[in-house]
Amino acid sequence: MSTPESIAAETVNFYRPDPYIKTPDMRSPEYVQMSTAAAITLGLVRGWMHRTDCTHCLNLLVTYPEGCRANCSYCGLARHREESQDYADRNFIRVDWPTARYEDVIQRVRDGADRGRFERMCISMITHPDSDADTLTLLKRWVEAVPHIPASILSNPTSMSRDDLVQLKEAGAQIFTVALDAATPEIFEHTRGATVDSPHRWDKYWETLEWAAEIYGPKRFGVHLICGMGETEQEMLEVCQRVRDMGGHNHLFAFFPEQGSLMEAWSPVPRAQWRRVQLARYIIDYLDGRVEDMRFNAAGEVVEYGLEPAELEALINEGTPFRTSGCPGRSDQDTVSACTRPYGDSSPTDIMSFPFALNERDVAVVRRQMAGESVGTFDHDSD
C-alpha cells in the first residue's frame, strides 16, 4: 500500500505545467525543465508538431521554486510574473517547459526513447544563486552518462567569471552561447538592464563573449539575438558581423510577444524585416560575406546582400537561410541547426524559423514575404 510520502514522490517524477494544481517543490540539480518539443521526442508528452516529428536538441533549463531573479521585459520567465504564476508553470519562448527528474531524463536517452534523434543537449542557465554550480553538476553527469551526445551551455553572464567558463569547458561543454538578445546597448538597457529593474549589463555580456572566444575557440561559441525589438536591420547585422569576426556564430530569434511579459502588447517582427535579416545573417556566418559589402537604405533595411544575383537567387531557392539557426549537431560542418526549436518564435500557422527543410512552396511564400506581402505560411497552398 502506498504511503502519502510515496504518492507525493510519484507525483513529481514528471510535472506538466498546470495552473489549477499546487506546483510541486522541484529544484535543480535533481530536477530540470525541458522544452515541450523535447518532451514529445522523449515520449513524455503526447503530441505532434506540424511537419516535423521531433527536435534534434534536448533543451534543458535549470529550475528553482524561487525562479529567475532577472526581469527581462520580453521573457516569460521574468521576475515580474511571479505574482501571477509559479515558476514551473511559466511558458518560455512561448511554449510550456515540463519538469522531470534529471536521472529519469538521462535514463530515457540511454534507453533510446528519442530513437537516436537527439544530436545535441543544451543546458540553459537562469539568474539564480545556485544556477552556476548546478549547471556544472548537470553537465558533468551528462558527459559521464551520455558521452555520445555533445553538450552546449546557454549561459548567464551576469553571475559568471572567466573561471566558470574554463570549468565548464574542462567538464565537457563543447559549445558556449550567450543570450545577448538585444542588438544595441540602448535596447539592452531598456529591456534587460536597470531600467526594468534587471541586473544584466551590456558590457559584461560582451566581456563573457570575449572569454568564450578565447576559451572555446572558433565555431565553439555563439550568441542569441532577437530580431524586432526596435533595432534596424543594419544594427542587427553589424552585431552579427562583430560576432563572426570573433569566430562565433549568430543564432536568430524572431520577436514574438510572450503573454504576461512587459512587452506582450508589442507587435511581432515584420516578416519582410525578418526574412532579410535571416538571409544576410546566413551570408555572414557561412559564406564569408561582409556587412560592409551589403547596402542599406536610409531606414537601415538591406537592399543589397553583396552577392552576385545568380548566387543570391540560388541561395534563396535552397531555403537553408530561413531555417532555425542555432548550435549544430555532431558535425562542426553543419549549416543547419540541431536545435530546431519548433515554433518557439512563431505560430505553426505563420512559421518564422522553419524547423524543417523548405519545399518550393515554402520558398515561394518567403519570397512574397520579402517583397512585403502580408502572407502567412499555413494557407499559402490556397493562394
CA distance 13 to 104: 8
Cα–Cα distance list, 34 to 22, 137, 227 (Å): 20, 17, 24
378: confidence class by pLDDT, cuts 50, 70, 90: confident
User: pLDDT at residue 226 above 80?
Assistant: yes
383: confidence class by pLDDT, cuts 50, 70, 90: very low
Q: Which CATH number fits domain 11-382: 3.30.420, 3.30.1490, 3.30.70, 3.20.20?
A: 3.20.20
Query: Could you tell me the end-to-end alpha-carbon distance of the chain, in angstroms, rounded to an integer?
Result: 61
Q: Which residues pair with 249 in a beta bridge?
A: 222
Q: Which one is predicted more confidently, 169 or 15?
A: 169
50: confidence class by pLDDT, cuts 50, 70, 90: confident
Torsions phi, psi for 53 (to 5 deg): -100, 0
Q: Which residues pair with 58 in a beta bridge?
A: 121
State the pLDDT at residue 201.
Answer: 99
State the pLDDT at residue 51.
Answer: 82
User: What burial class does residue 282 get, using C-beta atoms within 10 Å of its C-beta: 0-12 exposed, 13-18 middle, 19+ buried?
Assistant: buried
User: pLDDT at residue 32 above 90?
Assistant: yes
Would you call 146 helix, strand, or coil by DSSP? coil
State the pLDDT at residue 130.
Answer: 98
Residue 51 per-residue DSSP state: T
User: pLDDT at residue 5 above 70?
Assistant: no
- What would the mean pLDDT of 158-162 be, rounded to a whole number? 98
State the pLDDT at residue 8.
Answer: 41
Summarised one tens digit per residue, pLDDT across range 310-368 is 999 999 999 999 999 999 998 766 778 999 998 888 888 899 999 999 999 999 999 99
Name the grid cell of 98: 515540463
For residues 132-147, b (16+ Cβ closer than 10 Å) or e, as one string? bebbbbbbbebbeebe
State the pLDDT at residue 332.
Answer: 66
Summarised one tens digit per residue, pLDDT across range 78-129 is 887 765 556 655 555 567 899 999 999 999 999 999 999 999 999 999 999 9
User: Any idea where the domains of the chain sit in the sequence?
Assistant: 11-382
Q: Express the helix, strand and coil content of the chain in percent, nearest 5 each.
A: 35, 15, 50
Alpha helices of the chain — where are they, by DSSP H? 4-11, 36-41, 102-110, 131-145, 162-171, 185-192, 202-216, 233-246, 271-286, 309-318, 360-370
State the pLDDT at residue 365.
Answer: 97
Q: Are 57 and 340 in contact (CB under 8 A)?
A: yes
User: pLDDT at residue 137 above 70?
Assistant: yes
State the pLDDT at residue 301.
Answer: 99
Residue 53 per-residue DSSP state: S
CA distance 211 to 217: 10
State the pLDDT at residue 187.
Answer: 99
Cα–Cα distance list, 116 to 110, 121, 208, 226, 354 (Å): 10, 13, 33, 30, 21
52: confidence class by pLDDT, cuts 50, 70, 90: confident
Summarised one tens digit per residue, pLDDT across range 238-261 is 999 999 999 999 999 999 998 889
Winning range, highest mean pLDDT, from 23-27, 51-55, 171-175: 171-175
Size (the chain), residues: 383
Torsion of CA 172, 90, 100, 133, to 10 degrees: 40
State the pLDDT at residue 3.
Answer: 42
Mean pLDDT, rounded, of the chain: 92
